Structure 1
């Protein structure tokens, strides 16, 4: 079971995630998010990520300049594209940086899940997250919302996927049981408030996910 803790901002949170057995550390580079950090801050955080734990850089429709700044500062293992990036844009980023790309798909129903198939053979990983409400103040992800997990039965693609969307220590085992997920991700489920990670919640989430295997 792969477990990703996303939106980490402090050394304490990074170390808690890594020590608890998380496989992926997520850093957010989308400025409207309360979890967002700068490339310069990321450089300090990745210095505390042990070998074997993958660094994921979350961006939303980022331009080449931002991607390059993130790459120069943090050399992430994966770029997580959480915007409206097309299959061609995914190809461009992979070719430019020679790095794995995870494409986030916002899901409300079966048709949304099927839309991920457009990235087959292009993205290295799909992240299924809850589609946010239409409120203009909602973020593309990390809103603590759960979607209908049964919608994923419509996905017939071959690209491996990770499950996100309102997961926490109390529901991640059930989510894994229902969906058959081999990888899970949380941001808000390990926080006391948006952007404020709680090391105990991080440890509880990772433990619950790993025990659900």
Structure 2
């Protein structure tokens, strides 16, 4: 199971996640978020990172020009679109992207079922709320293209094994405070998520 650590605001936290085995890091380009980081600040972190780690830029209510520009400036490799965007916006993007479903009810999680997508619990604010989805919604669903977010931490990520999610995305569940990661929580979360792959391969 692949792991994304979101809400990165420092080089130290980025390297903690990478050394623990993170596959992707998330940078929040949404100014109302307590985890906001500017494209320039993100660039100063990203340019020092080792290769083969996905650098994901999170956007809320932005237009295609802003998304393209910020990703280029920061050196992000993937845009995470955290709002209901028209198809025209996706057609104008020059960067790879992933759509986010903010699920209110079970039927929502089957949107974009032919695409890799991130599924999070709906809340009025965007991202990092720590609100959990009802896992029963995923019973009988092909989860192989779903990245699950919302209310995850080291104590519950192991319970996701049976669903076969492509990956998990965590922010508040591995923090000391908004935007500041807890080294122990990050390591435990990634260890518990990755152990499932080893178990499944037996």
1:139 positional shift: 1.8
Whole-angstrom distance in 2 between the partners of 1:58 and 1:46: 15
Q: Structure 2, unaligned stretches of length 5 or more?
A: 198-202
> Displacement, 1:50?
1.2
1:116 corresponds, among 89, 112, 117, to 112
Residue in structure 2 matched with residue 106 of structure 1 by the alignment: 102
Q: Deviations over 1:135-169 (max 9, x none)?
A: xxx42221001011222347569x82211111110
CA RMSD after TM alignment: 1.9
User: Partners in 1 of 2:155 and 2:88 — Cα distance?
Assistant: 38
Query: Secondary structure of 1:212's match?
Result: helix
| Distance in 1, Cα, partners of 2:85 & 2:96 | 15
31 and 112 in structure 1: CA distance in 2 versus 1, 3 angstrom threshold: same
State the aligned residue count: 197
Q: Is residue 199 of structure 1 aligned with residue 183 of structure 2? A: yes
In the TM superposition, what are the counterparts of 1:74-153 in structure 2 within 5 Å?
74-93=74-93, 97=94, 99-117=95-113, 120=114, 125-132=116-123, 138-153=124-139
Q: Find out whether 1:27 has 2:6 as its counterpart.
A: no
177, 185, 202: which one pairs with 2:169?
185
Match of 2:196 in 1: 212
**Take 2:140 and 2:91, find their aligned partners in 1: how far apart are those partners?**
25
Contact 2:63–2:89 under 8 Å retained in 1 = no
**1:48–1:56: structure 2 CA closer, same or farther, 3 Å change rule?**
same
Native 8 Å contact 1:9 1:35 kept in 2: yes
Q: Which residue of 2 aligns with 1:8?
A: 8
TM-score by length of 1: 0.85
Whether contact under 8 Å (2:64, 2:92) holds in the other structure is no
Q: 1:111 Cα deviation (Å)?
A: 1.6
